[in-house]
Structure 1
Amino acid sequence: MRPLTLRSLVVLACLGLSAPALAQAQKEKVSAQAQGPSPAQVQASQAEARKLSDAFVNVAERVSPSVVQIDVTARDENADQILRWIGRGSSDSPVARGTGSGVVFTPDGAILTNNHVIEGALTINVHLRDGRFLPARLVGRDPATDLAVIKVDTQGLVAAKFADSDAMKVGEWVVAIGSPFGLGYTVTTGVLSAKGRGQLGMNLIEDYLQTDASINPGNSGGPLCDLEGRVVGINTMIVGRGSGIGFAVPSNMARRAAEQILKSGRVERAWIGVGAQDLSPELATVMKVDPRAGALVNAVGDNSPAKRAQIKPGDVIAAVAARPIHDSHDLTREVLSHDVGQTLELEVLRDGKRYGTKVTLAARPEPAVPPIPVQQQGVPQPGLGLTVRDLTPQQASQAGLPSKALPLITGISPGSSADRAGLKVGDVIVEVDGTSEPTSSQVQQAAADGQLLLRVKRRESSFYAALKK
C-alpha cells in the first residue's frame, strides 16, 4: 500500500476520517474491482445490448421487403476463347452477368438503383423478396448523380420510406441492406461517418454520406437506413475493398431525382450559372474576409440567372435562402435542393459590405442522356429465346466438351425466358423433359408446347432450368 502523503492527511482531517478508515475503504474498493461487475450490472448491460440488437432486427424485417436484387446482362468483350468461337457469326455475342441492388419506392413497381448497376445492360431482371423473378424496363437514368429508375409490372409492393438526410447526424447508427457478391438480403451495420463528401472525381455531382457499414460489390443501389427503417441514402461506392469506407447518395437528392425520372424520364436541376471556389486562407487574408465566409465566385455565365441578379466575379456568396454558405460545396448543395423556377434570396459579400439580391433558378444545361442497349432492344424475341445445334465429335473435343454430340446453346435472346432462366451461350443440354442425351431436334420438338424443363451442364457443374413463354 502506498504511504499517505501530507495532502492526504489534511483531506482526512477535513473529512473526519482516520488513516485506518481510509485504508479499509481502499481495500474494499480493490476487492470490489477484483470481483468484477455485479449480476445487476451484467443484466443491465445485456438488456442494453438486446435493445440495440432488436433495433437492427426490426430494421431488417421492415426494410427487406422493399429491397430487390438486380441481375443484368451485358456484352462481354472479354469472353473466353470458347465462347468467342461459339458466338462467331451469331447475332448474339457472349454476355457477362452482373448483380446489384435496388429499393422499391412505389407500390406499382418503381425501383431506385445506381446508374452504374444498369449501364450497358442488355437485359435487367429483378429478384423480389417473395421469390418472384421479373423482367424490368429502364424508366430513366441520371449519370450525373449515378442514379437510375427501373420498373417491374406488378402491384402491391412494399414501398420504402425515406428520411430527411439533412437531419441525420454524424455518429448515428445506420444499416445497409443489399446483395454483396450476389448474396441477397445481406444486412451490415455501422455509423454515419461523415456528410457532404465530394471532390472524389467519380461523378459530376457529389454530395455523399460516408459510412463504415460494410459495403461491397453488389450492394450498389441498395438502401442505407436509420434505426427507424427509413432510407437515408442509396449505397453507391467504396474506397478500396475492406477499407470500411463506403459512400451513399443522400436520400433527399436521391428521392428528388427518382421522382423526376418517374414523372418525365429525366432530371431537371436548378442552376444559377456561376463558377465558384473555396476561400483559401491566403485569399481570405487578401480579401479581408473569414475563410469560411462563403463561396468565392470566379465566373458568371452570360445570360445566366446570376448575371441577371448582378452577381460578379469576386463576390462571395454567404447565404442562400437564409442558410449560411461556407464553401463552394455548400453553394452547390443549397441550389440543387430547390426547384427550377423558384426565386431565392442571396446574401453577397462585396468589398467588405453585405448585399442582398434575388435570383430565379433556371434549368441546368446538360447534354441528353444517351440510350443504353436495353432501351434499344425493340420488341422482345418470340419463343423461348434459345438457339441450339449439335456439334460434331471433333468440334466438341476442340471446345473441351463431351465427345457425344449433345445440343449446345449457341444463342440467347436478351430478355427471353432462356435469359431469365440464367442460361448462357456455351451451356450443354444433357436432358430435356426427362429425356437424357437428347438431340437438337428433340429439344425443338419438346419446345413446341411453349415450355421446357432442361438439365444443363456448364463446365464441371449441372443444374435444372425451367423455360416458359
Structure 2
Amino acid sequence: MDFRRWGTGRLLACCRLDSRRPQCPGVEGFTMKKLPRNRVFRAALVSVVVSTAFLGALAEGVAQTRQAPAPAPSGSASSGPVADAARVGDAFASVAERVSPTVVTLEVEAVRQRGRRGRSPFGSRGGDSEIANGSGSGVIIRANGYVLTNNHVVENARRIVVVLRDGRRLPGQVVGVDRATDLAVVRVQASGLPVASWGSSDRARVGQWVVAIGAPFGLDYSVTAGVLSAIGRGIGANEIEDYLQTDASINPGNSGGPLVNLSGEILGINTMIIGRGTGIGFAIPSDMARMVADQLITGGVVRRAYLGVGFQELTPELAGHFGARNGRGALINRVEPNGPAARAGVRDGDIITAVDGNPVVAGRDLMRHVIRRPVGAQVQLTVLRVGRRRTITVTTVERPRSGEARPQPASSARRSRGHGALLTPLNDQIRHRLGYRGQGSVVISRVESGSPADHAGLRTGDVILRADHKTVTSPNTVNEALADDGEALLRIERRGRTFFAALTRN
C-alpha cells in the first residue's frame, strides 16, 4: 500500500507482520510496520490490570487500614481497592472470552510488483523475491464466513489462509477492498461462525476503556487494554480518515483486529501506529467500517457521496480574512468546474458551517457528514460568504477516483520582500520541470526557515494563483498586496490541489 504523508517526520506504522521482518514500506521519510495470533493471556492481563488499579488506590487503602480497628477476614472482603481492581480485571477477561472466538489470523502469501524499488509491503527490500509471506488479524462480521480486515493485510495476496479460534485453517478469498479507508472483506466457506457485535463509534467517549485483540508478532489472540485517547484523528496516511486514537498496545500483526468496548462491541478496526511502544495507535471507526463492509459484501465496491469541493481547516488568520468570527467551519478552497457544488452555487472562499443542520466545526466534520449520505441525496449546506449566511442545496454524485502529479522544486529565484518566499515567474522550462499544466504565473522557488511564509505553510513548488482576490501575473502582484497593511490572502495551488494561506510581512 502506498502511504503518503505531508508534514512532520513522524514514524508511522501500518500493522501487518512480515514473517521475516516486521516492517512496511517507507512513506516519505517514515519506516512503516504492518499490523497482523497464541491464546488469551488472561492471567497476565488480570495481573497487569490489578497492579495498575492497586497502585492508583494504594494511598487510600493504607489510610483506611490505619483507621480501621481490625482487618476484615480475607475471605469476606467484597469492597475496597483490591476488590474494585479485581472486578475491572474480570470485566476485561469477560470481554476477551466473548470476543476472541470472533477474531481470526490471516496468513498471507503476496506477490510483490515487478520492478518495485524500496521496501515491499512486507518489509523486505525490493528485488529480493516476487513472493513474500506475512500475517494479520481480522474479525468475523457474518456467520456465513465474511471477515473484515485491512486492505494492506491482503493487498496483492496470492493465497490467504484464515485461522479460526477453534484451530480450523480455511482458504480465504478477497470479496472486495476499499483503498480509501484501508479496509477489505475476505470470505471463507463456512457457516454458523461466531459473529462480533457492532458498537457505535459516534457514541464512543474519550477516556472510556477499550480492548484490542489480535495477533501481534504472530502471537494469536493477544489481548491488550487501554483507553480511547481521541476521536476524529487524521494523520495523512489514507484518502479518507476519521481515526479513533488509543493507547491500548497495538503492534505489527494487529492490523485488521477489533478494538472493542467493555460490552465486547466493535468500536474500530486496528490499522496503524506511530512508532513502536509509544502508546499511540489508530483504529478505523466502526460506523465507517460497517458501512464499507456492507457495501463490499453486497456489491464488491464502495460508492460514496461527493460534492466536488476541496476544503481546508479554518485558522484564526484565515477566519479574519473571510469574516468568520467564531473561527469554525470548513473553508472551501476548490470547487470542481461543473461539479455538483459548482452547479448549486458554492464558491471557493465559502465557509461551510453545517450539513443538514449538523454543525461543521472542522474540515473533517464536512467529510464525515457527506460520505454518510447516499449517492444522489440532496444535502443542505449552511454557508458563510463574506460574513453572511445562506443555505445551498447540493445533489451529491458518486465520488470519483483521482490521482495527482508531484512537481519538483524550481531552481531560479527572485528576491524576497520581507516575507521569506522567493518568487519566480513560471516560464516554459520551469513548467516542464515541475510538470505544471495550470494557469498560474508565479511559483515559490524557496521558503526561508522560520520566515512568515514558512509559518503560513508555504512550500517550495507552490504556485500562487491570487493575492487578495487579484490574479497573480508576476511577483510584484504579491508584493503590492502586502504593501497596504502587511498582510495578503493567497490562493495556492499545490500538486493539483488549491488552498488559501494568510501571508504577512516582517
TM range (shorter): 0.5 to 0.7
| Stretch moving more, 34-43 or 150-159 | 34-43
Counterpart in the other structure of 1:69: 105
1:331 maps onto 2:377 in alignment: no
CA deviation after TM superposition for structure 1 residue 291, in Å: 5.1
Q: Aligned equivalents of 2:236 and 2:332: distance in 1?
A: 21
1:61 is displaced (CA, Å) by 1.2
* SS at structure 2 position matched to 1:357: strand
Q: How far did 1:130 drift?
A: 1.0
Question: Partners in 2 of 1:288 and 1:122 — Cα distance?
Answer: 55
Q: Distance in 2 between matches of 1:187 and 1:244?
A: 15
Preserved CA contact (<8 Å) 1:212 1:245: yes
Aligned to 1:171: 207
* 3-state DSSP of counterpart to 1:285: helix
Rate the CA distance shift 1:105–1:367 in 2: closer, same or farther, 3 A.
farther
1:34 is displaced (CA, Å) by 9.6
* Aligned-pair CA distance for 1:94: 6.6
Question: Where do residues 41-440 of structure 1 align in structure 2 (5 Å cutoff)?
Answer: 43-75=79-111, 95-198=131-234, 200-290=235-325, 292-366=327-401
Secondary structure of the corresponding residue to residue 87 of structure 2: helix
* Contact kept in structure 2, 1:292 and 1:327, CA below 8 Å: no
Tell me by how many angstroms 1:314 deviates. Answer: 1.3
Instruction: Name the CA shift for 1:170/1:302 in 2 (closer, same or farther; >3 Å).
Output: same
For residue 166 of structure 1, what is the amino acid of its counterpart? D
Structure 1 match to 2:410: none
Contact 1:280 1:291 (C-alpha < 8 Å) held by counterparts: no
Distance 2:64 2:353 in 1: 59
Contact 1:271 1:336 in 2 (8 A): yes
2:197 counterpart SS class: coil
The separation in 2 between residues aligned to 1:246 and 1:304, in whole angstroms, is 37
Shift of 1:340: 1.2
- Structure 1 stretch displaced more, 287-296 or 239-248: 287-296
Q: TM-score, normalised by structure 2?
A: 0.61
C-alpha distance in structure 2 between counterparts of 1:314 and 1:240, whole Å: 37
| Structure 2 residue matching 1:105: 3-state secondary structure | strand
CA contact (8 A) 1:317 1:347 kept: yes
What letter corresponds to residue 259 of structure 1 in structure 2? D
- SS for the counterpart of 1:138 is strand
Q: Contact 1:76–1:96 at 8 Å: present in 2 too?
A: yes
Q: List alignment gaps of at least 5 residues for structure 1.
A: 1-31, 79-92, 369-469
1:178-233 CA deviation, whole Å, 9 max, x = no partner? 000111100000000000111x2211111110000000000000000001100000
Amino acid at match of 1:226: N
Post-superposition Cα deviations, 1:48-107, rounded to whole Å, max 9, x if no partner, equal 1122111111111111111100000124799xxxxxxxxxxxxxx773210100011111
Give me the whole-angstrom Cα distance separating, in 2, the residues matched to 1:312 and 1:294: 15
Within 1, Cα distance between the matches of 2:64 and 2:204? 42
Q: Quote the offset at 1:126 in angstroms.
A: 0.3
Cα distance in 1 for partners of 2:333, 2:130 equals 50
> 1:272 touches 1:304 (CA, 8 Å); kept in 2?
yes
Question: How far apart are the structure 1 equivalents of 2:205 and 2:67?
Answer: 33
Please give the alpha-carbon distance, in whole angstroms, between the structure 2 residues aligned to 1:319 and 1:76.
Answer: 44
- In 2 relative to 1, CA 144–33 (structure 1 residues): closer, same or farther, beyond 3 Å? closer
1:129 to 1:42, Cα distance in 2 relative to 1, 3 A: closer
The answer (yes or no) to whether the contact 1:279–1:291 under 8 Å persists in 2 is: no
Distance 1:301 1:76 in 2: 36
Paired with 1:94 and 1:298, the residues of 2 have a C-alpha distance of 43
Structure 1 pair 292–337 and aligned structure 2 pair: CA distance change class (3 A): farther
- Quick check: 2:112–2:156 contact (8 Å CA) kept in 1? no
Change (3 A) 1:204 1:364: same
Q: Tell me the secondary structure at the aligned position of residue 299 of structure 1.
A: strand
Contact 1:235 1:249 in 2 (8 A): yes
Deviates more, 1:44-53 or 1:217-226: 44-53
Q: Give, in angstroms, the shift of residue 33 of structure 1.
A: 4.5
Residues 141 and 148, structure 2, Cα contact 8 Å, conserved in 1: yes
Structure 1 residues 316 and 44, CA gap change in structure 2 (3 angstroms) = same
Alpha-carbon spacing, 1:33–1:266, altered in 2? closer, same or farther (3 Å): closer
Which amino acid counterpart does residue 153 of structure 2 have in structure 1? Answer: V
Matching residue's letter, 2:283: A
Q: How far apart are the structure 1 equivalents of 2:172 and 2:67?
A: 56
2:181 maps to amino acid: T
Counterparts of 1:216 and 1:251, CA distance in 2: 20
How many Å separate the matches in 2 of 1:76 and 1:347?
47
**C-alpha contact (below 8 Å) 1:233/1:248 kept by paired residues:** yes
Shift of 1:163: 0.8
Cα distance in 2 for residues equivalent to 1:348 and 1:329: 16
Q: Hey, what does 2:48 align to over in structure 1?
A: none
> Residue deviations 1:249-296, cap 9 Å, x none?
000110111110111111111111111111111111222213532111
**Aligned length, in residue pairs:** 322
For the aligned residue pairs, the C-alpha RMSD in angstroms reads 2.1
Query: Within 1, Cα distance between the matches of 2:305 and 2:148?
Result: 21
Query: Shift of residue 327 of structure 1?
Result: 1.8
Any unmatched runs of 5+ in structure 2?
A: 1-61, 115-128, 404-506
Q: Is the 8 Å Cα contact of residues 185 and 296 (structure 2) preserved in structure 1?
A: yes
